[in-house]
Structures are given as structure tokens and as C-alpha cells.
Amino acid sequence: PLLLLLAVLLGGAGAQYSSDLCSWKGSGLTHEAHRKEVEQVYLRCAAGSVEWMYPTGALIVNLRPNTFSPSRGLTVCIKPFSGSSGANIYLERTGELRLLVQDGSSHAGQVQCFSLEQGGLFVEATPQQDISRRTTGFLYELTSGRRGLGHTLSAPCRPCSDTEVLLAVCTSDFVVRGSIQDVTHVPERQESVIHLRVSRLYRQKSRVFQPAPEGHGHWQGRILTLLECGVRPGLGDFLFTGHMHFGEAQLGCAPRFSDFRRTYRDAEERGLNPCEIGME
């Protein structure tokens, strides 16, 4: 991979531009058989996909938001397609590579996130006897801050501070009060599925939570978090917040409801609440 990067720096690389600026689809068959070319792909969008059929050589994928806002503070998350094969995906910065997704990895579909300031994506085809059935692809999202699995890049499982909780109530895609009914661990995706019983629905942008069969004003739904966070079923009510991420609900801040109520009322008395929700 470093030799290919050096070739780009010294001799340049071909460039491909997406017609819709959000997604790119290309083929390695456009390369001459004896050349290991590196192509530049430029995308300017908040979300989209990259699909590389018959991968040969390498791609440098340049991601930018679809606004003129600075790239500082932006998080990139990628989710490989099911069955993606034929290339390794790296995080690249100034010639240094960190492997994100290995060709043939058993963790297919696992979401990988990094700050846009940390670098860009370098996708390198792996040697194959037959590339005819190989396609490497992934979905990507650009968001402000860490929206998705956990709330910080450095410590995704740490509890949120009071300030983070209050902001999460205002900015999350879903905010509910409920309890954990069950947890299903999915080691191959490094995720845990949390099954919730919801007693109060403050906000949801997608139909994550549906009315429970028994009614009585209760809701039910499931959200995802990182396996490493070690979530387990337990007693008591929590405030669950989070965002939609590749079409799935991802846990953000989740304090005990009694702690949240105390924090909220204290901020309310001091006029420091960034927004209001209907507290019973």
C-alpha cells in the first residue's frame, strides 16, 4: 500500500467524479492489466456509497460535506456491503495507513468511524487469481461530532456528562424513557441489540418504537450499541437517546431517569436548559 501511495505523490493519479456527488460506482477493468493504478474519487455529500467492481490497483476516496462548512469536527462512518470482497480499506494520513476493513474479514458489515481530521480512505485491491466475482463496496455517512455507536471516538462506552445529556435531549433522533427488557449480543458484528419497553416517547424521527401489543400507552423497539460496552438487562428506568445510523437506531446517552430528572430540573432552575421537554 505504501508503494502505491508513493506513486500517487510522485506521479499523480487518475481522477473520477461522481455524477451525483454522493455515490460512485466504478470498475477495475478500465485499468491496463500490467499497471497498478491509483484513482482519485471525489464525493461531496452527507451520505452515499462506493461500489468498486473487479477491483485492481487502488482508490483514494475524498469525502467532503455538501456545504461550505469546515471539515473540522466531522465524523466519517463506513459500513461495508454484505459480501464485500477483493480489497482492504485503510485510513490514510500523510502516507501512514491504518487498516479499517480487511478483505475476507469475519466482521463484515461492522461500522467503522473516524474523524475526518484523522485522514481519508485508501482502498487497495488484494491479489486475486480471479477478480470476476469480486466487488468491494461500502456505505458512508458524514456527521457533526460522534453520532452513532457511542458518543465519543476515544471512549465510546463512558457515561455522558450532565451537559452531554442535556444536549442529547435536544439533538437526538430519538428520546424515550424506558427499561431494558433483553439484550442480544452479536459478536460477529461487535454489536449488542438492546430490546426496550418504553413508557414515555418524547421524540422519534423514524418509527423505531411501535405500540406494544398489550397497549396501555407503552411502546417497544430495539436499539444498537457496541459489544464492548457490556450492556446487560437490569431494573429501573433510563432515558435513552441516540441517532439513526445507516437506517438503524444507535444508542447515545442513557442515564438513569432519576439522575436525568435531577439534572434537568437543576438546569431549568438556573435557566441553562438548551431546550425543553415535557417532564411529568
Distance CA 110, CA 118 (A): 20
pTM beyond 0.75: no
d(CA 80, CA 50) in angstroms, rounded, equals 9
Question: Is the predicted pLDDT of residue 173 greater than 80, yes or no?
Answer: yes
Longest dimension (CA), the chain: 71
Quickly state the pLDDT bin for 79 (edges 50, 70, 90).
very high
A 10 A CB-CB count for 262 gives 13
pLDDT exceeds cutoff 50 at 151: no
**Range 57-85 burial, b when 16+ CB lie within 10 A, else e:** bbbbbebbbeeeeeeeebbbbbbbbeebb
Among 18-27, 96-105, 208-217, which is the least confidently predicted range?
18-27
Task: Report the pLDDT averaged over residues 76-85.
Answer: 90
Are 210 and 221 in contact by the 8 Å Cβ rule? The answer is yes
CA-only gyration radius of the chain, Å? 22
Cβ–Cβ < 8 Å for 141, 46: yes
Assess whether pLDDT exceeds 70 at residue 122. Answer: yes
Average the pLDDT over each of 167-176, 193-202, 210-219 and give the range with the smallest value: 210-219
Which residues 6+ apart lie within 8 Å of 253 measured at CB? 151, 160, 164, 165, 168, 172, 239, 241, 242
pLDDT band at 36 (very low <50, low <70, confident <90, very high): low
CA distance 131 to 16: 21
Least confident among 3-7, 106-110, 171-175, 203-207: 3-7
Instruction: Return the pLDDT at 34.
Output: 45
* Number of other residues whose CB lies within 10 A of the CB of residue 27: 13
Kindly list the distances between the CA atom of residue 213 and the CA atoms of 91, 193, 210, 218, 221, in Å, as whole numbers in the listed order: 46, 20, 9, 9, 12
- State in Å, rounded, how far the first CA of the chain is from the last one: 58
pLDDT at 35: 57
Residues 90 and 122: their CA atoms lie apart, in Å, by 5
Minimum mean pLDDT among 92-96, 180-184, 250-254, 270-274: which range? Answer: 92-96
pLDDT, tens digit, 9 for 90 and up, residues 201-231:
999 988 899 998 887 789 999 999 989 999 9
**Is 74 a residue whose pLDDT tops 80?**
yes
| pLDDT score at 136 | 93
197, 178 contact by CB (below 8 A)? yes
Confidence of residue 32 (pLDDT cuts 50, 70, 90): low
| All structural domains of the chain | 18-144 (2.60.120.290), 162-270 (2.40.50.120)
Reference 260, options 184, 160, 171, 137; nearest CA is 160
Tell me the average pLDDT of the chain: 84
